[in-house]
Amino acid sequence: MSDECIPDDGWPPRRQANWALLLLFLAYIVAFIDRIILAILIRPVSTDLQLNDMQFALVGGVAFSLFYVTAGLPIGWLVDRYPRRTIVAVGVAIWSLATIGTALAATFGWLFLSRVGVGIGEAALAPAAYSLIADYFPPERRGRAVAIYTLGVSLGASIAYFVGGQLIGFASQAGGIALPLFGDLAAWRFVFVAVGLPGLLLALLTLTMREPPRRGDKLEERIEKGAFVHFIRRNRGVSATYFLGYSFINLSFAGFMLWGPALFERVHGMGPADIGVPLALIFLIPTILGQWFGAAVTDRMVARGHADAPFLTGAACAVLLVPTAIAMPLLADTKLAFAALALLVFLVCASVGHHAVVAAAVAPNRMRGLYVASFFFVQNILGQAIVALVTAFLTDTVFGSPDSLGKSMAIVGGAGAVGGCALLLLGRGMLRRASAENRQLSST
């Protein structure tokens, strides 16, 4: 980007920033559709490939998260050094091709490897996106920009539930779909092809973003080999509360993403086509409201000088999340369960949706991509792999019945909300000190 394209305040023009934010937002929508579509299709996929709950946990949780977090750290390193728009474009293309490849899975192993590909591709998006947003938007607008980006989770889930339910219903009634190059496809296989193809076009569109100048150049010139490890050690307290606090709060949300469709099928007798519309509405309206509420409160508090605002907002919402996360999966009345779910997603989004504000406040620019990748390493190990396996273990081994899935989800979600709230409250002072230190270093 040439100097004349940059306003007097040093930030990129709003038009360029908003266009980049739109593309990143669309990428997150596509990513989340491809990520959770497997959970919606748990019944036909498990039946066709003869998977039990533990095997589904390995495919839906471990396969994605293990390689998402493994690839995320080196990709975060690349994000801090190379053009971020290129990294985003390559990542979108990889996960879209892997989603299409899922449609061809004939065995558990093939399905597992396909989800590995989705995880590797999606690992490129978050570190690059949050790094770009931090260089496109000044601090007083950054919280809302992050909230817009993370609304991709909400819309992605909403679209996945609605479109996935409609597609599976349409294809099931037709007895399968024949597509060029793919031949005759079972209903669930057709859905994976249908949701994977748009990502290939989006991969090309992301190349139209302009790479913004990285901010804080004076500080970045002094970053040497091993500096990130030193930075983490020096900020281990705030980093631990940041990584673990938000990750624990997110457990009830992550657990529902994987096991929610199965819960409503086993407890409430609802299939993919039945839950599509109500879940689409829940993951559209309460999530949008939650994202904006949490971001607006945090931005307002930051503008008033409260550097610990992200942790305070997250902890306050987590207090209300505790009883909600416990009650929602245990409710036998379907309408009450949907209402409790709407409140749950609102509170989780209000708690966690603005988390990247912490990374922007604490980490120097050329450490920010790796810092965000480290956050997602922890979040996805807890929220994808561990929550999947623990829930399956409690259901299959401790309670010994698939119908006990709600009890397992209540235990995991409630414990996560309690732990996350405690950690964020513990870290408020550390966040204030780390933010002040980063501002001082960046200005010298």
CB atoms within 10 A of CB 319: 14
Helix (H) or strand (E) holding 134: helix 125-136
pLDDT in tens, the chain (444 residues): 333 344 445 788 888 889 999 999 999 999 988 888 887 887 888 888 888 778 888 887 778 777 777 787 788 888 888 899 999 999 999 999 999 999 888 888 889 999 889 988 998 998 899 889 888 888 777 777 877 887 787 788 788 888 877 777 777 776 667 788 787 888 888 889 988 999 999 999 999 998 888 775 444 444 455 677 888 888 889 999 999 999 999 999 888 888 888 899 888 988 777 787 888 888 888 988 888 898 888 888 888 888 888 999 999 999 999 999 999 999 999 999 999 999 999 999 899 877 778 887 888 877 777 787 788 788 877 877 788 788 888 998 899 888 899 999 999 999 999 999 999 999 998 988 888 887 766 555
Query: Tokens 């879209």 correspond to what residue?
Result: 96
Q: What does the pLDDT read at residue 387?
A: 80
Q: What does the pLDDT read at residue 322?
A: 96
Of the chain, the end-to-end C-alpha distance in Å amounts to 25
- Dihedral angle, C-alpha 21, 5, 357, 216, nearest 10 °: 150
Six-digit token string for 143: 């919280």
Count Cβ neighbours within 10 Å for each residue of 54-77 and write b for 16 or more, e otherwise: ebbbbbbbbbbbbbbbbbbeebbb
Q: What does the pLDDT read at residue 9?
A: 58
Q: What does the pLDDT read at residue 6?
A: 46
Q: Which residues contact 25 (CB under 8 A, 6 or more apart)?
A: 148, 149, 151, 152
Q: What does the pLDDT read at residue 420?
A: 94
Q: What does the pLDDT read at residue 224?
A: 52
This prediction has a pTM of: 0.71
Nearest to 293, CA basis, from 338, 247, 243, 348: 348
Residue 120, judged by CB atoms within 10 A of its CB (0-12, 13-18, 19+), counts as buried
Sign of the C-alpha dihedral computed for residues 314, 320, 326 and 331 taken in this order:
negative
Nearest to 365, CA basis, from 432, 438, 421: 438
Annotate 185-219 with DSSP letters as a single string: E-HHHHHHHHHHHHHHHHHHHGGGS--PPPS-HHH
How far apart are the C-alpha atoms of 365 and 383, rounded to whole Å?
Answer: 27
